[in-house]
Amino acid sequence: MPTIPQLPRSASVTAADTIPISQNGEARSTTLGTLLGNVQPTILIPSKNLLGRSSIGVGGPEPVALGNGLALENNTLTVTPFDPMQLPSLSQLSSSDSLVGIGASGMAQVSLNAIRSLFQPGAHIAIDASGTISAEWPGPNSGQADTLSSIAQLPTIASGTAQAILPINQQGTTYGITVEHLLNGLTIDQASAAAAASDADTLWVAQSGNTMVRQNFSALWQWVINKMPAYKPPVIEVSQDLTLDVTNHNGRVLLCKAPIRLTAIPANMGSGFHCEVINLSTGMVLLEGAFIASLDFPALAPRQTAQIRCLSSEGTPLLYAQQSAMAPGSARLNIVADITYIPGASAISFDWNAPVGGGNALGYTINHRALGATTWLAAGIITSGTTFTITGLLPSTVYEVRITAFNEAGGGEPSTISVSTTALQDSVPGQATNLTAADIGPTYVTINWQSPSSGGVVSSYSLLYRPSGSLTWSGQINSIVTTSQTVSGLTASTLYEFKVTAFNAGGGGPPSEPIAASTTSTPGAVSNIVWNVAPYGQYSSGGAIGVNAHVTPASAPIRFGFSTELSSPPSAWTDAVPVNTDLWGAYVATPGTPGTWYAWAQGTDGSCSTIYASPFTVA
């Protein structure tokens, strides 16, 4: 039988391993777990610990740790001094928690509610049952701080500032915040720049109330398109000279009810300006400015229209007039010929003959440029006469001038270019001569004279008049550009004196010798004139045209005359003779100047001037 040392060694031992034992004289086997089940294990614990039992159920002794305030010394358990820093910390308190307090009778437990009762709210402060401390403010009228005021009770303001404070609740807590910080101080000029607009871009709108909703550009553009068919351009009726500007005239229809001058200044219009002009008057609408006209002349005849646009090309503004077709049957004019001129230092006066054939001229456009320049400048437009003075020129400078006639059919071919050199400097004109009084009535006198034969070129005349014997010249008419002027508003049967002075850029020349003329006595005034026979159609120069009209009162004498304008009376009159009852008639000499003419009738005292609305022409 082997001995124990001879047995092989076990690598490990478990409670299930068996060993032999002798029980009541018999050899038996048992497990190590059974054998050692009731044997007290060795207790190894650090010093200054107690043995006890903290586990549930029957078992052996267990180490018991000493808490705060206890110490084990020499097998004696004692109390140590209290150290609050050794106590565990709490992450939060509740109303049911208690604190340790030291009172008159020693240490004791104190509830949080007891501690809270020691604190009383001051003015405008409240503490609720849960311990929340909040501020109170007085009502608008009470002067007290008993309760929080309703927002409806607060005084209202018309506007606020960025520093105004608003209440805000954030995660259950109420705070005050300024408007500036509530909006992050973001104004429209501080917003990030947007990219190019697209149909998907959105904007704020309010629909059927004040609730804000979003709308995209695509839907907004469709709304605009749906509105456009119903859009009507505003119509402006015009009866006096007008300067176009973008505020009042862009996108409008201008309905001209009288012959006017329409001035276009690009600075007042801007690139992209557009308007439509319709001439419903009986005369010409003149387009003043550096217009490029589609029919070669800057004017609109009666019943003609134009689309006016202001454009910018390479930084240079352009004025363009797209004119409608002219009245059917009108013939384009031939070339203006026989141009003569008189140069001054800063002005050149031109005279020319109307074109022969090709229709009747309604007016002329005059263009000029310095010799060597490539661009023609607009000097002006006239609708009566065949004389014009270009002013504002440089002395000792060669200028080129061309003249173009126009009528309802458009502009004719420009004239041959005339070349003239301005003088070294302006000398004042000489004396006007040969003053005569003609066509005298009760309230008017027409004065004629001859241009000075010496001195500088005349640009205008001034006529002075006064009752004979008066020490001062009480009447004056300036800026006369012809050698004839009718003075009206005079007193009947009164002797007047008249004198004329010629002017140019250099000043005025010596006044003419005065003449005297007496107005006639006042006949019976005319209250009504009704045309019976008036000129119509076309006449050849030379001969006479028969006219007559009914007059009220029947015995009041009248006279007839012809003028090239509705607004200017004739320069010569023919007295009428009674035909029968209230009918007065006369044969009036046919005008010697080709063009459009209007028939006038008035009392011989100048009363009741009546114009036949339809013009006639002289070839």
Report pLDDT digits (tens) over 509-568.
899 999 999 988 766 678 899 999 999 999 988 889 999 999 998 888 999 999 998 888
Q: Can you give the pLDDT at residue 143?
A: 46
Please report, for residues 281, 307, 326, 391, the alpha-carbon distance to residue 408 in angstroms, rounded to integers and kept in the order given.
13, 17, 5, 28
CB burial of residue 456 (10 Å; 0-12, 13-18, 19+): buried
Report pLDDT digits (tens) over 452-485.
988 888 889 999 999 998 888 889 999 999 999 9
* Helix (H) or strand (E) segment spanning residue 321: strand 316-323
Report pLDDT digits (tens) over 318-355.
899 999 876 554 445 566 767 777 777 778 888 888 87
Instruction: Write the CB contacts of 318 (distance below 8 Å, at least 6 apart in sequence).
Output: 292, 310, 311, 312
* Nearest of 572, 571, 558 to residue 603 by alpha carbon: 558
Give the span between the Cα atoms of 30 and 611, in whole angstroms: 155
Please report, for residues 146, 191, 236, 390, the alpha-carbon distance to residue 186 in angstroms, rounded to integers and kept in the order given.
38, 7, 44, 61
Instruction: Please state which of the four CATH numbers 3.40.718.10, 2.60.40.10, 3.40.50.12280, 3.50.50.60 is assigned to the domain occupying 337-421.
Output: 2.60.40.10
Least reliable range by pLDDT among 258-262, 354-358, 382-386, 602-606 = 354-358
CATH architecture of 235-323: Sandwich (2.60)
Q: What is the 3 state secondary structure string of 27-80? A: EEEEEHHHHCCCCCCCCCCCCCCEEECCCCCCCCCEEECCCCCEEEECCEEEEC
Pure H helices in 314-437: none
For residues 26-53, give the mean pLDDT: 77
Instruction: Write the CB contacts of 157 (distance below 8 Å, at least 6 apart in sequence).
Output: none
> Which residues on neighbouring strands pair with residue 399, listed in sequence order?
370, 420
Please check the confidence at residue 407 and state whether its pLDDT lies above 80.
Answer: no
Domain spans of the chain, in order of start: 235-323, 337-421, 433-518, 528-618
Contact 383, 283 (CB under 8 A): yes
| Burial letters 215-246, b for 16+ CB under 10 A, else e | eeeeeeeeeeeeeeeeeeeeeeebeeebebeb
- Rounded to the nearest angstrom, the gap between the alpha carbon of residue 164 and the centroid of all alpha carbons in its chain is 34
Give the span between the Cα atoms of 551 and 238, in whole angstroms: 34
Q: Spell out the CATH class of 433-518.
A: mainly beta
Q: Do domains 235-323 and 433-518 have the same CATH topology?
A: no
* Helix (H) or strand (E) segment spanning residue 168: strand 165-170
Report pLDDT digits (tens) over 252-287.
999 999 988 899 888 889 999 999 999 998 888 888
**Mean pLDDT across the chain, nearest whole number?**
83
Give the span between the Cα atoms of 524 and 578, in whole angstroms: 14
CATH number for region 528-618 = 2.60.40.10
* Helix (H) or strand (E) segment spanning residue 267: helix 266-269
